[in-house]
């Protein structure tokens, strides 16, 4: 038994507890932990949260009485232990010994015996999930909404949400070529595959730390999901001298827009969150790109707009992120059904306000990483009904892209897991001349 192994389990339990009991995002909880075994802690925390509803039911069945709320970190630790037993290759004896020891690291030595008893019982007994949340490993409101929005696909979406997301790269064709970067990966022994619809994308066969990516620091490559790589070329179309990315942080799609742009094309990036907006600057510096970055509420054009209209606008709107649950499993715990109507209001406000900054003949690409129709085609439908100079432009860049997307009454949807991509919605809106 090692102190390091126990401390990794204790850290994973702290992270899980911080999300579940204090409502912190997984990203924020991970940032606050100083660990020397980062990737293992991340794997345990992600996995435990990804499997939360099933593990919680299992723990409930194994315990004679519920844990006290002041021992919530031990409930989280038990779940970290159960996750190791059911979903990882960690040998059972090590999983149990280190997890029991972690109770002491967490300052709860008197509960070490309980952790041991529960994990040993789990090892002996089989498990039958009770109730819908445990069976589908999702909160009921998400299951019901998916059933209603996607009657033929909801099971597939639930399964995709519980998969580990692959790592996609976007090769910076401003600095290198896809062929040259593939040769670099071959040389480094990193396996990948290409996608016929995405000219800059490579999907790695196994994720690796960003710091191990050849040429990352020099801006040859960025990490970006394949579905996300559809946005920039679509928004830019045949060319756009003045572009706006209205909800830009951390800058993945903005950087892609600028990589594709002509040297004189100008890009303005806005984000309401100053901390997140500073990540845009870091991304642009690494890639050697330039943009005007502003911290502002994009729906309040008096605060940031100089009155000169844009040729193309990317509105990657704040949303439930229900299409990227596999990357952010904490969404299943932190999002509430009541958030959806509030988000829809913000999305509509952004759309209405940004439309006024678009040139006649210009294009606005509305994007969300949601699979809920209330944030997607219903927003676009209502906007088109109320906006006489707006029409949907349903032309796609290539037919291979058509194959990964579902045509909706308005716009297109990629369901999570399609060709290894995240779930995204896109609608391209054109302003009359």
Ligand X SMILES: C[S@@+](CC[C@H](N)C(=O)[O-])C[C@H]1O[C@@H](n2cnc3c(N)ncnc32)[C@H](O)[C@@H]1O
What is the binding site for ligand X (CB under 6 A)?
Answer: 228, 247-253, 270-273, 276, 297-299, 316, 318, 350
How far apart are alpha carbons 224 and 424 in whole angstroms? 13
Name the residue nearer to ligand X (CB basis): 51 or 299. 299
Active site residue 269: no
Cβ atoms < 10 Å from Cβ of 372? 25
Q: How far apart are CA 73 and CA 15, in angstroms?
A: 9
As measured in angstroms, the least distance from the Cβ of 346 to ligand X is 6
Judged by beta carbon, residue 309 or residue 318, the one nearer ligand X is: 318
What the block records as the tokens of 81 is 């232990």
Q: Are 55 and 48 in contact (CB under 8 A)?
A: yes
Task: Give the β-pairing of 266-271 and 242-245.
Answer: parallel
Largest CA distance in the chain: 73
Q: For the chain, percent helix, then strand, then coil, each to nearest 5? A: 50, 15, 35
Which residue lies nearer to ligand X by CB, 139 or 251? 251
Catalytic residue among 235, 247, 269, 369: 369
d(CA 360, CA 71): 60
- C-beta neighbour count of 212 within 10 angstroms: 9
Cis? peptide before 237, omega within 30° of 0: no
Query: Residue 406 in contact with residue 412, Cβ under 8 Å?
Result: yes
**Token reading at 125:** 């007994």
Helix (H, G, I), strand (E, B) or coil at 263: coil
247 φ/ψ sector (left φ>0, alpha ψ -120 to 50, else beta): beta
Of the pair 125, 285, the CB lying nearest ligand X is at 285
| In the complex, residue closest to ligand X by CB | 247
Least Cβ distance, residue 308 to ligand X (angstroms):
19
Closest contact distance (angstroms) between CB of 231 and ligand X is 7
Q: How far is the CB of 372 from ligand X (least distance, A)?
A: 14
Which residue, 142 or 270, has its beta carbon nearer to ligand X?
270
In the block, which residue shows the tokens 């209405």?
352
Nearer to ligand X, 127 or 304 (CB): 304
d(CA 47, CA 40): 10
Please give the backbone phi and psi of residue 311, each rounded to the nearest 5 degrees, phi first: -80, -35
CB of 283 to ligand X, least distance (A): 8
Cβ 41 to ligand X shortest distance, Å: 25
Altogether, the residues listed in the chain come to a count of 433
Instruction: For residue 343, give every residue at least 6 positions away whose Cβ sits within 8 Å of its Cβ, in sequence order, or none.
Output: 318, 319, 320, 375
Min dist. Cβ of residue 316 to ligand X (A): 4
Query: What are phi and psi for residue 46, nearest 5 degrees?
Result: -60, -50
Q: Give 152's contacts (C-beta < 8 A, 6+ positions apart).
A: none
Burial class (CB in 10 A: 0-12, 13-18, 19+), 349: middle
Choose between 5 and 250: whose C-beta lies nearer to ligand X.
250
Task: Characterize the bridge pairing of strands 412-414 and 406-407.
Answer: antiparallel
Minimum CB separation from ligand X for residue 148, in Å? 24
Q: By C-beta, is 41 or 270 nearer to ligand X? A: 270
Name the residues annotated as catalytic: 369
């Amino acid at each position: 038994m090692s102190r390091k192994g126990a401390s990794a389990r204790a850290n994973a339990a702290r992270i899980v507890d911080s999300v579940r009991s204090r409502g912190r995002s997984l990203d924020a909880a991970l940032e606050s932990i100083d660990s020397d075994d980062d990737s293992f802690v991340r794997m345990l925390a992600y996995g435990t949260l990804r499997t939360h509803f099933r593990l919680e039911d299992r723990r409930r069945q194994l315990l004679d009485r519920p844990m006290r709320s002041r021992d919530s970190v031990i409930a989280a630790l038990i779940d970290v232990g159960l996750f190791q037993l059911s979903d990882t290759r960690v040998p059972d004896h090590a999983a149990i010994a280190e997890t029991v020891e972690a109770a002491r690291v967490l300052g709860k030595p008197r509960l070490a015996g309980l952790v041991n008893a529960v994990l040993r019982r789990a090892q002996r007994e089989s498990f039958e999930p009770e109730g819908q949340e445990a069976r589908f490993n999702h909160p009921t409101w998400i299951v019901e909404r998916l059933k209603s929005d996607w009657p033929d696909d909801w099971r597939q979406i639930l399964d995709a949400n519980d998969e580990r997301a692959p790592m996609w790269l976007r090769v910076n064709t401003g600095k290198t070529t896809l062929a040259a970067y593939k040769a670099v990966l071959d040389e480094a022994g990193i396996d990948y595959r290409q996608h016929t619809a995405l000219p800059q994308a490579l999907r790695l066969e196994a994720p690796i730390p960003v710091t191990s990516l050849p040429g990352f620091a020099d801006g040859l490559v960025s990490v970006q999901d394949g579905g996300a790589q559809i946005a920039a070329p679509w928004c830019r179309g045949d060319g756009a001298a003045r572009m706006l990315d209205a909800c830009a942080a951390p800058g993945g799609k903005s950087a892609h827009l600028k990589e594709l742009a002509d040297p004189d094309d100008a890009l303005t990036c806005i984000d309401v969150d100053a901390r997140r907006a500073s990540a845009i600057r870091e991304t642009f510096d690494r890639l050697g790109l330039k943009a005007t970055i502003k911290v502002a509420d994009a729906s309040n054009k008096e605060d940031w707009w100089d009155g000169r209209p844009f040729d193309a606008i990317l509105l990657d709107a704040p949303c439930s992120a229900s299409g990227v649950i596999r990357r952010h499993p904490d969404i299943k715990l932190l999002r509430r059904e009541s958030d959806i109507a509030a988000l829809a209001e913000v999305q509509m406000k952004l759309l209405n306000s940004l439309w006024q900054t678009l040139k006649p003949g210009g294009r606005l690409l509305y994007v969300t990483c949601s699979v809920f129709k209330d944030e997607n085609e219903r927003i676009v439908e209502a906007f088109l009904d109320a906006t006489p100079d707006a029409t949907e432009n349903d032309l796609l860049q290539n037919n291979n892209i058509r194959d990964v997307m579902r045509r909706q009454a308005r716009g297109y949807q990629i369901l999570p897991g399609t060709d290894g991509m995240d779930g995204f919605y896109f609608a391209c809106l054109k302003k009359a001349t």
